[in-house]
Amino acid sequence: MRAAGRLALTLALVPALAAGTALAQEAPPVPAPPAPAVGPAVPDPAVPDPAAAVTAVPEDPNPEGGPPLVAIDPGHGGGDTGAIGQIPAGTVTGLPARGAIGGKLYEKDVNLDIARRLNDILVARGYPTLMTRTIDKGAGDEPYRSERADLRARVAMANAAGADLFVSIHANAAPPSFHGTETYRFYSTGTAGMLLARSIHEEVVFRNGLADRGVKSAGFYVLKYTSMPAVLLESGFVTNRDEAQLLAQPDFREKIAEGLGAGIDRYVREGGPVEAGETVAPEPVPIRFWVTAGVFRRAADARERAAAAREAGFAALVRGRASARLKRNLYYVVTGRFSLIENARAQRDDLREAGFPGKVGAAKPPAAAAA
Amino acid sequence: MRAAIVRRYLAAAALGAVVALAPACSDDDAPPATTASTATTPATTGGSTATAPGEVTVYFANAEGKLASETREGTPDLRGAMDALAAGPEDPDLVAALPAGTRVLSAEVEGSLARVDLSEEFESGYPSGGAAAELATVGPIVATATAIPGVESVAITVEGRVPQPTGTQLDFSMPFTPADVPLEPVS
């Protein structure tokens, strides 16, 4: 298992691979779909028993000192479009044009774009990654054949590579009134899975600004059969008019990718080792410390600093807050949010080493009036 | 397209209590084995022999994706509950669970397992993606079936075989428990 992980780690660091080369040749052979056997008495031999997966969860996200191997799973692909939303014809999406006049938004395209952005972010920060698909095809960049074969292959890739975390990226669908972001974990996941789901969810909602539908549990295939902490993000609703238009924007998808990256970072820094097999939900970890790389009177200056910090590998974003004393808005370049002062100071030091005026703040989060 | 989406969720009421009779299952795609040890005697069969009329409780997702219930007159067994589910909600604020046109071919209880066999409209009209849409489809089936005393899990088949709707993130090859497809109850 670990040997496989090392192999995948080395391969995933090859730039060509990170840039989007198909992983098909590295992927383990996809087992044939099982004979349909609805019944708990006939477990699928090719996938681990979900109950076993609970105890097999590697609770320490970083057992060997290196960054964990992150499996990124862009939902759907190829003949499986995922949910379909409507956007105004002619919208510049940065995605393949869908529909006769480009008025459609395919979930599979949104998912893949966010996944590629997340991959770039993680690779820039030194994480080894594995994408279950890198192009508009099924798992392993192979043609989409059937839903079950596709889901099985995604799980098999991550399990065989010994991935430490699994992040499935989706967009939601429902009647048009539904809106917001929700994140799923497996219903009997360990504490690690809960912390991962919570960290990712909070960081994504913080950045995309959509309604918070919460962290939920369900028995989705990729959550049930992966043997590492796994989450499934539903970034927003393609069936909601406003959210479809947001998801169609490259900048908005970048915010979601940054949220995913920040959530993974936070989990790796603060998830910590927990008792194996523990299934009790921990108390939410309160965010008490903010790290900033500068405060500006002009939003444009803050954005420029944030861009430079991102260039240097920090998950920087701009948050505006009204200053009662100065009677005007100040714009903070926020690079991290932490519950432990030690972690906040560590990032501050990283910032200073990279030439930024890193500072730890402990007051209420600067949340109002985002720039 | 928007109209189509709305239609998917609002249609279904037309079916009424039409009861389609069909073979319970085909032979090669074996239907689920039971969770429980032994019991195999069908408590209910897919027949039209309605016995004592009574009240049946059906569940649907509401506009917030939460689980709401409706009570109907009907046969208080799995078959009666599934037919009521296929007929769709009476409250216009609730979301139809089964895709338009879906019929219940058979519904039987074996020990703690409910077997529900649906017509192919379930697979062809299944949501193409989205956790909320999937949970609003499968969640009410499982909630309605497991509301029957003794039922703990639900195996869903389509014309006797394991369905494989394009885009699903669920594992139809195993019976569903409420934990697989949970919907928060309305407060």
pLDDT tops 50 at residue A71: yes
What are all long-range contacts of A64-67, with beta carbons under 8 Å and residues at least 24 apart?
A64/A2, A66/A9, A66/A128, A67/A125, A67/A126, A67/A127, A67/A128, A67/A268
Structure confidence at residue B144 (pLDDT) = 97
* Farthest CA pair distance, chain B: 48
A49 touches chain B (CB under 8 A): no
Which of B173, B183, B184 should one mutate to test binding to chain A, selecting the residue with the greatest count of A CBs within 10 A? B173
Name the residue among A34, A82, A216 with its Cβ closest to that of B128.
Answer: A82
8 Å CB contact between A323 and A330: yes
The answer to whether the CB atoms of A44 and B1 lie below 8 A apart is no
Please answer whether residues A285 and A339 qualify as being in contact, where contact means their C-beta atoms are separated by less than 8 angstroms.
yes
**Is the Cα dihedral B144, B150, B151, B152 positive or negative?**
positive
Return d(Cα B10, Cα A287) in angstroms, integer.
42
- Select from B5, B136, B169 the Cβ nearest to the Cβ of A220: B169
The interface residues of chain B toward chain A in range 12-41, judged by CB-CB distance below 8 A, are 29-35
To the nearest whole Å, the CA of B154 is away from the closest chain A CA by 10
| Out of A189-193, A212-216, B105-109, B131-135, least confident range | A189-193
Residue ranges for chain B with pLDDT beneath 50: 1-52
All residues of chain B having their beta carbon less than 8 Å from the beta carbon of residue A139 are none
Q: What is the pLDDT of residues A318-371, one digit of tens each?
A: 777 777 777 788 888 888 877 677 778 888 998 999 999 999 887 554 443 333
Say yes or no for a CB contact (<8 Å) between B34 and A82: no
And the tokens for A176? 């048009």
Q: Do A175 and B95 touch (CB under 8 A)?
A: yes
- pLDDT tens for A243-294 read 999 999 999 999 999 999 999 998 988 764 343 333 333 444 556 778 899 9
Helices (H), A181-271: 191-208, 221-225, 241-247, 250-270
- Taking contacts as CB-CB distances below 8 angstroms, the residues of chain B near A132 are none
Interface membership of B3 toward A (CB under 8 Å)? no
Q: Which of A81, A213, A224 sits opposite B171 (nearest CB)?
A: A224
Provide, as residue numbers in chain A, all residues whose Cβ is less than 8 Å from the Cβ of B153.
Answer: 40
Which tokens sit at A61?
């996200």
Q: C-alpha angle with apex A264: A299 to A198, nearest 5 degrees? A: 95
Both tokens assigned to B18: 């039409």
Mean pLDDT of chain A: 79
DSSP string, A278-326: --SPPPPPPP-EEEEEEEESSHHHHHHHHHHHHHTT---EEEEEEETTT
Q: What is the pLDDT of residue B10?
A: 36
Q: Provide the pLDDT for residue A239.
A: 96
Give the pLDDT score at B23: 37
A182 touches chain B (CB under 8 A): yes
B125-136 confidence digits (pLDDT tens): 999 999 999 999
Q: What is the pLDDT of residue B42?
A: 41
**Using one digit for the tens of pLDDT, what is the confidence trace for A94-139?**
999 998 787 999 999 999 999 999 999 999 999 999 999 999 999 9
What residues 75-94 of chain B have any CB closer than 8 A to a CB of chain A? none
CA atoms of B169 and A147, how far apart (whole Å): 8
Residue with tokens 């009410």: B140
Please tell me the predicted confidence (pLDDT) of residue B53.
65
How many angstroms separate the most distant Cα atoms in chain A?
70
Residue with the bigger pLDDT between A33 and A242: it is: A242
**B99 or A193: which leads in pLDDT:** B99
- pLDDT value of residue A66: 77
- Chain A residues with CB under 8 Å of B31 CB are 38-39
pLDDT value at residue A64: 55
What is the rounded (10 degree) CA torsion for B129, B135, B138, B142? 160
Cross-chain Cβ contact B9/A222 below 8 Å = no
Residues of B in contact with A240 (CB under 8 A): none
Measured between CA atoms, how close is B54 to chain A, in angstroms? 31
Average pLDDT of the segment spanning A151-177: 95
What is the token pair recorded at A281? Answer: 């939900």
- Give pLDDT, residue A43: 40
- Record: contact A178-B34, CB cut-off 8 A: no
Residues 101-140, chain B: which have Cβ within 8 Å of A?
Answer: 127-133, 135-136
pLDDT digits (tens, 9 = 90+) for A1-40: 333 333 333 333 333 333 333 333 333 333 333 444 453 3
- Does the structure's ipTM exceed the value 0.90? no
pLDDT digits (tens, 9 = 90+) for A31-67: 333 444 453 333 444 444 444 433 333 445 555 567 8
